[in-house]
Structure 1
Amino acid sequence: MRTQDSAPEAGEEGSSGSSGGRPGAGRGSVDVRTLTRVLFERMSELPPDAPERERVRAALIEINIPLVRYAATRFRSRNEPMEDIVQVGTIGLINAIDRFDPTRGVQFPTYALPTILGEIKRYFRDNVRTMHVPRRLQELWVQVSGAMEELTVVHGRVPRVPEIAANLRIPEEDVRACLDAGRAYNAASLEAAQEHEGGLALLDRLGYEDSALTDVEHRDMVRHLLVQLPERERRIIMLRFFANLTQSQISTELGMSQMHVSRLLSRILTRLRTGNSWEE
């Protein structure tokens, strides 16, 4: 993994030379580096309102676009179109060109890369999140993500929470909160199919409130009382309330008068409501 100081020079994408195709080893990257230096020297000689200055500035932007694309690849897992990220990074490149002082002896890619990355991170922080994250955690996440990159280079693996906290001198709880906040960019659609769940949508796997849940205790109590009824009375209850037969139909089914069925139902229901045991 490269550090910012070892970032590829602009224009090294696809370049190759005598080093077996290693990016940045060919003559193309040297020419771009030289051209960048010459263009900056020329732009510094021109007055701010000179038409040629804008042409030189445009040329600097164009030849350094590969540096933006290199920075954008760090955010390929964010589910944002790569071209959108490149456009945002180009704004950072333009800002770096406008602020760069070639007399300080710093290579332009070394100076520009943090500015490009900062612009992209600011874009994700302020514009992409569909879930609200406190501003403090958003700003702390920038420090945590930077520390993670640095520690990954040092240890050759993804750093642990205690290591990040020690590096930044902040509580481990803040690091964990930042890691959770850093993943809160997009809310998952309930209708989106989940590949690892056999194509089922998230909505299909969510539980729901059973409208009959509050009646569970009542049904259990009724079941307990029904088993105490004599067979004939239990059958009358089943025919009336489970088979939805009328009293006339029940009387025909059992071979008794409708009046007798009515009296039995009234007696049975009274016993069930009071919870008293059945007495012949």
Structure 2
Amino acid sequence: MKTFLKPLSAAEEQFYLLQFQRGDPEARNILIEHNLRLVAHVAKKYQGCDEDPDDLISIGTIGLIKAISTFDPCRTSKLSTYAARCIDNELLMMLRARKKRSREVSLYEPIGTDREGNEISLLDIIESPPVDVVEDCFQRENILHLLRHIAEILSPKEYHVICCRYGLNGQEPRTQREIARELSISRSYVSRIEKNALQKLRTLFPKNH
């Protein structure tokens, strides 16, 4: 069983928070090490979710690091109270993301083949409406046309945002907020890039379509 360092006293905590705010990286490490017991305490309530305890501690530690980096003593009196919320939020986000991925895998996993030998997933059976063959062929043609020309008319940043947003090139679709974090820009700026890119892509199709 892992052993953790004892929590800091209130005076010690204030001292190291001040040192960290002044740019001392060692103070940050001390704050993390002495609050790992709190991570373990919060993570314990999720151990019945079939998750590896070490994974829970690792994810919870990310929440602790975020808490220490963003803690404002003027808004919250105790670091432990604020950190517990951040740790809990990080664990919840991880569990929700894994649950979502597990649903996607189960829905998309092949369960057989059709008459032409194409793989069929559970999602195909659940959600497939009656197909208009002519409309389906037209849509496929439009998609291929779009994919052939998308990189030619978009800037590199627009191309990256569109690929991330709509899951192109084998990626999982991502939210504007996730893309904004990756590119270190605001979500509203990502929204503008996406809007401009889509406007450009509309020019690929004739007006009568």
For the aligned pair, the TM-score class normalised by the smaller chain equals 0.3 to 0.5
**TM-score, length-scaled by structure 1:** 0.33
**TM-score, length-scaled by structure 2:** 0.44
Q: In terms of Rg, which structure is larger?
A: 1
